[in-house]
Amino acid sequence: MAARMRQICLVAHRLDTLAADFKAVLGLTVCFRDPGVGKYGLENMLMPLGPSFLEVVAPTRPGTAGGRYLERRGGDGGYMVICQVPENDSYRARCGKIGVRIANVVDYAEYNEIQLHPRDAGGAMLSFGVQKTHGAEDWHPANQHHTGQQPSGRAKRIVAAEAQSDDPTRLAERWGQIYDAPVKQVGKAYEIALADATLRIVRSSDGRPEGLGGLDIAVDDKPGALADARARGLPVDGDTVMIGGMRIRLV
């Protein structure tokens, strides 16, 4: 089984406003708040999005990694790409060979995750999680035996995650090495195909530094979603809505 894009994590100054934005535009609802992230000086919320999850974390004290990332990126935005894989030993070995450090390890009886150092990987914190027990659709970070139910609402699944860089060729090559996957050039962008979604790397064009800047999300009722985004005063450009510092392209 190739890597699945199981969870996308954003970092924000506050959770309450974003929870209301995601509910109004995409119909997403919070299913879990993990008290375990408190040891990192964070609070969080997880929202089911098809077979995957959208997470948002926010710092609760000064001097956290999440807070420093907010400062570097100039505000709310993308933080982590968490993939589900059948094993992560090969990722650990490959990263060791190419000089990508493991920044953190999450280890439980039923779950193991390695998180790569963003300075070495570039673009975002990339993570690879192994669900060691229960069914294939279970997902420990959501604290539930998730069976792939579609949430009520407009959003159906994450189609792509988009990273931006002043040197997209370099970042795409790096991510291709990490995922051990071919990199395909599509126009001016680069793409890496995962089992269920696409990683896209583009040149920065919004004045913000390298990082995770966008998501493609399949939705029902695109006109209604765009209308509700405008009603909340969110920036809308064509099929793209800005929520939490992310370009959410509705497809």
H or E stretch including 53?
A: strand 52-59
33-67: pLDDT as tens digits: 989 889 889 999 999 999 899 999 999 999 888 88
Predicted local confidence at residue 64, as pLDDT: 86
Specify the residue for token string 């309450």. Answer: 16
Share the mean pLDDT of the chain.
Answer: 93
Q: Could you give all domains of the chain from N- to C-terminal order, each with its CATH number?
A: 4-142 (3.10.180.10), 155-250 (3.10.180.10)
Predicted local confidence at residue 134, as pLDDT: 67
* Percent residues over pLDDT 70 in the chain: 95
What is the pTM assigned to this prediction? Answer: 0.93
Q: If you write DSSP's letter for every residue of 73-119 in order, what string do you get?
A: HTSSEEEEEEEE-S--HHHHHHHHHHT--EEEEEE-SSEEEEEE-HH
201-248: pLDDT as tens digits: 999 999 999 999 999 999 999 999 999 999 999 999 999 999 999 999
CA–CA distances in Å: residue 8 to residues 62, 186, 191, 201, 232: 24, 23, 17, 16, 23
Does 130 have pLDDT greater than 90? yes
58-97: pLDDT as tens digits: 999 998 888 888 888 889 999 999 999 999 999 999 999 9
Over residues 121-134, the mean pLDDT reads 92
Contact residues for 238 (Cβ-Cβ < 8 A; gap 6+): none
